[in-house]
């Protein structure tokens, strides 16, 4: 029997209730420390004002959890999530930003530092034309140096997000984070939480706090085609714990990953660590997807002008938001993007 989304929401709410200082917002999609601000980039994501540029698809690693692992074609042109779905150039982003408020712009891949000159070109352009837009970059960390961190900062990149799961929380990348700390305004660690790496994550959390890492984004594991086959073959996942929000996308989620996120959050609370956590579970992905739907709607001249919050309230009124836990017996396993 398939795991229903309503059951996942109830499990999530029960575990959230065991966190002393958690603040829930955004129709249940956001869980963070009470009174603390998330990264401006995360706030842009949750507010439908974020564009994520896949600046290049080549990568120096082959992580099974990566949704682009089957697309590492170095010859592919940049493409961006957001707007009307056709962003491929700097000019395309400028066109979208004339219609949709853009407050956050990120560079991902692949490994974007393999395309450093391209990142610098784009970042400098938007630092000049849209200085209020918050820019950041994702990386597995292996190519980070104090020199290129300084070049990124000079170009307008204000935050580097390290995926430590890509290198199994290696000391080498932690050292590179320490070098970057001296050059960029903010540091973030953003990882999928997987039970076979959980102890490595927990051991690393106090180190991140000592390094002065500002933010920790804890992602629930999503399973694309080849990753699911790999993890099932290696007996790393239980197929009975896989679920999907039927109208979200073709990428199912993995409940034990969400449960481990709450263990990491309790670890942070119990040790009074300063790092600001952000639960990026399936509810948050639903909010993110609605944000992209909203941007696409706003790019259409036929759609009425409305804020993202107005759009969310309208979707909620017709029963389309399923980010809150339903009472037992109520339907809650689907979400509509009407």
Written as six digits, the tokens of 100 are 């949709």
Closest by CA to 118, choosing from 154, 152, 166, 81, is 152
**Confidence at residue 331, expressed as pLDDT on a 0 to 100 scale:** 45
- SS3 letters across 17-60: CCCCCEEEEHHHCEEEECCCCCCHHHHHHHCCCEEEEECCCCCC
Per-residue model confidence (pLDDT) at position 337: 29
Residue showing tokens 């890509």 = 166
Print burial letters for 228-245: b (CB count within 10 Å at least 16), e (below 16).
beebeeeeebeeeebbbb
pLDDT score at 85? 86
Provide the b/e sequence for 292-301 (b: ≥16 CB within 10 Å).
Answer: bebbebbbee
**Nearest CA among 154, 177, 163 for reference residue 110:** 163
Backbone φ/ψ region at 51: left (φ over 0), alpha (ψ -120 to 50), beta = beta
Q: Are 105 and 134 in contact (CB under 8 A)?
A: yes
pLDDT of res. 335: 37
Q: What are phi and psi of 138, to 5 degrees?
A: -100, 150
Q: What pLDDT, on a 0 to 100 scale, did the predictor assign at position 70?
A: 66
What does the pLDDT profile of the chain (338 residues) look like in tens digits? 568 888 999 999 999 999 999 999 999 999 999 999 999 999 999 999 999 999 999 999 999 999 886 666 665 778 898 898 889 999 999 999 999 999 999 999 999 999 999 999 999 999 999 999 999 999 999 999 999 999 999 999 999 999 999 999 999 999 999 999 999 999 999 999 999 999 999 999 999 999 999 999 999 999 988 899 999 999 999 999 999 875 556 689 999 999 999 999 999 999 999 999 999 999 999 899 999 999 999 999 999 999 999 999 988 876 656 666 655 544 444 333 22
Nearest to 207 by CA among 244, 246, 240, 181: 181
């Amino acid at each position: 029997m398939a795991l229903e989304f309503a059951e996942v929401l109830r499990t999530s709410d029960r575990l959230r209730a065991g966190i002393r200082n958690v603040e829930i917002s955004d129709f249940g999609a956001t869980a963070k420390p009470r009174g603390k601000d998330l990264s401006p980039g995360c706030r842009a994501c949750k507010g439908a004002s974020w564009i994520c540029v896949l600046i290049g698809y080549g990568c120096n690693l082959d992580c099974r959890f990566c949704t682009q692992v089957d697309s590492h074609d170095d010859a592919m042109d940049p493409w961006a999530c957001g707007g009307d779905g056709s962003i491929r150039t700097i000019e395309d982003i400028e066109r979208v930003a004339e219609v949709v408020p853009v407050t956050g712009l990120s560079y991902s891949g692949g490994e974007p530092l393999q395309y450093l000159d391209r990142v610098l070109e784009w970042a400098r352009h938007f630092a000049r034309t849209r200085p209020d837009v918050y820019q950041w970059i994702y990386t597995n960390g292996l190519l980070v140096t104090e020199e290129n961190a300084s070049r990124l900062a000079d170009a307008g990149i204000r935050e580097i997000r390290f995926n430590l799961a890509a290198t199994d929380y290696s000391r080498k990348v932690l050292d590179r984070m320490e070098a970057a700390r001296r050059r960029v305004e903010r540091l973030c660690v953003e990882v999928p939480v997987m039970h076979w790496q959980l102890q490595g994550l927990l051991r690393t959390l106090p180190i991140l706090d000592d390094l002065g890492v500002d933010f920790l984004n804890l992602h629930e594991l999503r399973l694309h085609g080849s990753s699911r086959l790999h993890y099932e073959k290696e007996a790393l996942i239980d197929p009975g714990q896989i679920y999907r929000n039927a109208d979200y996308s073709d990428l199912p989620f993995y409940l034990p990953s969400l449960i481990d996120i709450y263990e990491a959050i309790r670890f942070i609370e119990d040790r009074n660590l300063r790092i600001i956590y952000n639960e990026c579970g399936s509810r948050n992905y639903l909010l993110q997807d609605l944000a992209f739907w909203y941007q696409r709607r706003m790019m259409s001249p036929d759609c009425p002008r409305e804020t993202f919050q107005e759009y969310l309230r309208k979707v909620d009124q017709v029963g389309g938001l399923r980010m809150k836990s339903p009472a037992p017996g109520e339907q809650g396993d689907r979400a509509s993007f009407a």
